[in-house]
């Protein structure tokens, strides 16, 4: 279950052209399983109609503190008492300035002030012209709102509706949903630094040909994202995949096993957890041809000779132990037979506390998986589910094991 599922979210719109994105945001929140109550300021209603937002949220929209629909006539109290989160998107410069001073002269600012501050987080997705975003008043207001406990999201850069270009666009709806999920996720990895390897590696034969495997990187990317949502600072070292960098994660792109080995060895010291989901090629071609190998009619196929690649997981686990650096290492065993036996053997051979077994061909490129967790106490299964769901469960399993590991 994702962190948004079943949550009651008040989606507030203040005035700005980015209101058009709030329609899609509302849909995505509902798709993620939230119940969305829309509240709009008078200015927001100049940009998008309450009718649109009502149709998308399937709930009547509130626009005024004088709305007589609530029997007690206190919409600002009623709307937040059951809410799990208030999200203002777009949050205009003017609206944030008002919040900062605790002003409450219309329904949306009133309910932000009246919400139970301890149980109902406030997330603001700013949107404004680049000059307004850079203005010292806005910079000051954003800093103070953050100190007051609001989650003020960043902004996007690019072309703006006014014709200028720069920082100040509202984040895209998908990005805001990720941020909301993060706020709603228990921060079980807060303060931890997590390194993840993902995807296949490419072992070049010549400048145009390579040997690779069927890993899509989906599991590793889902894990990096889940670790970020759980509060970790995440570095993702990725082989060639067709996936965008997950939000909040710092990504290093590599091609070969050798490059992946170098990137991970260089970063291991600065991390507390290493999750090796990458399907690293075990061998590379011994003699890389600087030019494309040509075929001539009737000639024999080239004979390729291979040499073994370094075992990244084993060498990281060994190297960090030798330097007395506590790094909690998690391996992923991809098998086609005897999953439990191989996962147990690989855990011991690579010297890691947790090995996660999965059936390679049954999961490569797909959106779901099934995991077998093997540690010193035995094994347990995470039943078939989406990779996002499994990533969340595995992050929780890892977080649970960290306190005793770091006490060693
Ligand atoms: N691994 C690694 N470096 C390698 C090979 C594997 O870091 N050169 C890591 C993988 O990222 C994974 C774990 O080791 O976490 C197990 O990988 P897997 O391919 O299942 O096993 P191998 O050790 O390669 O053994 P085999 O190919 O014989 O199954």
Same domain, 128 and 232: no
The percentage of residues in the chain with a pLDDT greater than 90, rounded to a whole number, is: 88
What's the pLDDT score for residue 408?
Answer: 62
Instruction: Tell me what the mean pLDDT of segment 388-399 comes to.
Output: 97
Q: Does the Cβ of 313 fall within 6 Å of ligand 1?
A: yes
Ligand 1 mutation pick, 200, 283, 313, max ligand atoms within 8 A of CB: 313
CA–centroid distance, 331 to ligand 1, in Å, is: 8
pLDDT beyond 90 at 90: yes
Per the CB < 8 A criterion, the answer to whether 233 and 164 are in contact is no
Same domain, 151 and 226: no
What's the pLDDT score for residue 48?
Answer: 98
CA–centroid distance, 74 to ligand 1, in Å, is: 60
55-64, 185-194, 256-265, 319-328: least confidently modelled range: 319-328
Mapped onto helix, strand or coil, the DSSP state of residue 46 is helix
Same domain, 166 and 255: no
Same domain, 250 and 398: yes
Same domain, 200 and 151: no
Atom 4 (ligand 1) nearest CA: 311
**Which atom belonging to ligand 1 lies closest to the Cα atom of 257?**
8
What's the pLDDT score for residue 293?
Answer: 94
C-alpha–C-alpha distance, residues 257 and 199, integer Å: 11
Same domain, 151 and 239: no
C-alpha–C-alpha distance, residues 142 and 126, integer Å: 9
User: Integer distance in angstroms from the first to the last C-alpha of the chain?
Assistant: 33
Q: What is the mean pLDDT of the chain?
A: 95
Ligand 1 mutation pick, 311, 315, 373, max ligand atoms within 8 A of CB: 311
Same domain, 107 and 244: no
C-alpha–C-alpha distance, residues 120 and 78, integer Å: 13
For position 283, which CATH number holds? 3.40.50.10300
Q: Does the Cβ of 355 fall within 6 Å of ligand 1?
A: no
With cut-offs at 50, 70 and 90, classify the pLDDT of residue 298: confident
Length of the chain in residues, anyone?
408
Please give the backbone phi and psi of residue 229, each rounded to the nearest 5 degrees, phi first.
-65, -30
Q: Does the Cβ of 257 fall within 6 Å of ligand 1?
A: yes
Residue-wise pLDDT tens digits, 4-56: 999 999 999 999 999 999 999 999 999 999 999 999 999 999 999 999 999 99
For position 98, which CATH number holds? 3.40.50.1950
Ligand 1 mutation pick, 195, 212, 258, 276, max ligand atoms within 8 A of CB: 276
Q: Does the Cβ of 333 fall within 6 Å of ligand 1?
A: yes
Q: Does the Cβ of 309 fall within 6 Å of ligand 1?
A: yes
Which DSSP symbol is given to 379? E
Q: Which domain holds residue 33?
A: 8-184
CA–centroid distance, 355 to ligand 1, in Å, is: 11
Backbone conformation region of residue 57, classed left if phi is above 0, alpha if psi is from -120 to 50, else beta:
alpha
CA proximity to 273, closest of 231, 244, 245: 231
Q: Establish if 309 belongs to a structural domain.
A: yes
∠ CA 69-70-73, nearest 5°, is 110
Q: Does the Cβ of 339 fall within 6 Å of ligand 1?
A: no
CA–centroid distance, 280 to ligand 1, in Å, is: 6
CA–centroid distance, 160 to ligand 1, in Å, is: 47
What's the pLDDT score for residue 364?
Answer: 85
Per the CB < 8 A criterion, the answer to whether 75 and 111 are in contact is yes
Instruction: Tell me what the mean pLDDT of segment 259-264 comes to.
Output: 98
What's the pLDDT score for residue 87?
Answer: 98
**Which atom belonging to ligand 1 lies closest to the Cα atom of 334?**
20
Instruction: Tell me what the mean pLDDT of segment 169-175 comes to.
Output: 97
What's the pLDDT score for residue 57?
Answer: 98
Q: Establish if 2 belongs to a structural domain.
A: no
Q: Does the Cβ of 10 fall within 6 Å of ligand 1?
A: no
Same domain, 339 and 232: yes
Q: Does the Cβ of 120 fall within 6 Å of ligand 1?
A: no
| 162 given a catalytic annotation | yes
Ligand 1 mutation pick, 282, 308, 342, 357, max ligand atoms within 8 A of CB: 282
Same domain, 175 and 223: no
Same domain, 324 and 199: yes
Residue 160 or 57, more confident: 57
Same domain, 65 and 87: yes
Same domain, 66 and 141: yes
Mapped onto helix, strand or coil, the DSSP state of residue 286 is coil
Bridge-partner residues for 368, per DSSP? Answer: 386
Atom 9 (ligand 1) nearest CA: 313
Q: Establish if 77 belongs to a structural domain.
A: yes
Active-site residue, selected from the candidate residues 19, 112, 162, 329 = 162
Q: Establish if 291 belongs to a structural domain.
A: yes
Last residue in a domain, options 184, 211, 230: 184
Q: Does the Cβ of 364 fall within 6 Å of ligand 1?
A: no
Total tally of structural domains belonging to the chain: 2
Q: Which two tokens stand for residue 282?
A: 């075990």
Q: Establish if 261 belongs to a structural domain.
A: yes
Residue-wise pLDDT tens digits, 213-228: 999 999 999 999 999 9
CA proximity to 354, closest of 382, 333, 339: 333
Q: Does the Cβ of 346 fall within 6 Å of ligand 1?
A: yes
Residue-wise pLDDT tens digits, 118-131: 999 999 999 999 99
Which DSSP symbol is given to 117? T
What's the pLDDT score for residue 73?
Answer: 81
Instruction: Tell me what the mean pLDDT of segment 285-314 comes to.
Output: 93
Residue-wise pLDDT tens digits, 318-363: 988 888 889 999 999 999 999 999 999 999 999 999 999 999 888 8
Q: Does the Cβ of 203 fall within 6 Å of ligand 1?
A: no
pTM of the predicted structure, to 2 decimals: 0.94
Atom 16 (ligand 1) nearest CA: 333
Q: Establish if 388 belongs to a structural domain.
A: yes
**Which atom belonging to ligand 1 lies closest to the Cα atom of 282?**
8
Q: Does the Cβ of 276 fall within 6 Å of ligand 1?
A: yes
C-alpha–C-alpha distance, residues 299 and 74, integer Å: 85
């Amino acid at each position: 279950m994702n962190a948004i599922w079943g949550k009651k979210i008040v989606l507030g719109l203040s005035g700005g052209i980015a209101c058009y994105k709030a329609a899609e945001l509302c849909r995505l929140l509902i798709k993620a399983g939230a119940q969305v109550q829309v509240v709009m300021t008078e200015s927001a209603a100049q940009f998008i109609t309450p009718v649109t937002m009502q149709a998308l949220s399937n709930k009547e929209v509130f626009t005024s503190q004088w709305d007589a629909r609530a029997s007690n006539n206190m919409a600002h109290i009623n709307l937040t008492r059951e809410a799990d989160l208030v999200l203002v998107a777009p949050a205009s410069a003017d609206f944030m300035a008002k919040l900062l001073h605790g002003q409450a002269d219309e329904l949306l600012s009133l309910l932000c002030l009246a919400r139970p501050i301890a149980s109902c987080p406030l997330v603001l997705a700013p949107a404004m012209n680049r000059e307004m975003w850079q203005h010292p008043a806005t910079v000051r207001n954003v800093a103070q709102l953050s100190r007051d406990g609001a989650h003020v999201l960043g902004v996007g850069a690019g072309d703006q509706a006014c014709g200028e270009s720069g920082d100040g666009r509202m984040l895209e709806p998908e990005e805001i949903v990720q941020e909301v999920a993060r706020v709603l996720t228990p921060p079980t990895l807060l303060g931890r630094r997590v390194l993840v390897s993902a995807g296949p590696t490419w072992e070049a034969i010549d400048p145009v040909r390579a040997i690779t495997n069927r890993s899509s990187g989906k599991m590793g990317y889902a894990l990096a994202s889940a670790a970020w949502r759980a509060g970790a600072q995440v570095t993702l070292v990725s082989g060639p995949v067709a996936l965008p960098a997950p939000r909040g994660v710092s990504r290093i792109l590599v091609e070969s096993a050798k490059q992946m080995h170098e990137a991970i060895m260089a970063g291991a010291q600065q991390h507390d957890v290493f999750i090796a989901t990458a399907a690293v090629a075990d061998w590379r071609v011994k003699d890389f041809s600087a030019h494309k190998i040509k075929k001539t009619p009737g000639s024999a196929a080239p004979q390729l000779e291979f040499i073994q690649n370094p075992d990244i997981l084993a060498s990281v686990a060994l190297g960090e132990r030798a330097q007395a650096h506590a790094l909690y290492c998690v391996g992923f065993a991809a098998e086609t037979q005897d999953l439990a036996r191989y996962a147990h053997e690989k855990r011991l051979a690579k010297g890691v506390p947790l090995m996660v077994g999965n059936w390679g061909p049954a999961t490569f490129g797909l959106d779901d998986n099934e995991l077998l967790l093997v540690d010193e106490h035995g094994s347990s299964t995470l039943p078939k589910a989406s990779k996002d769901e499994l990533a969340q469960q595995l992050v929780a399993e890892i977080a649970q094991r960290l306190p005793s590991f770091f006490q060693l």
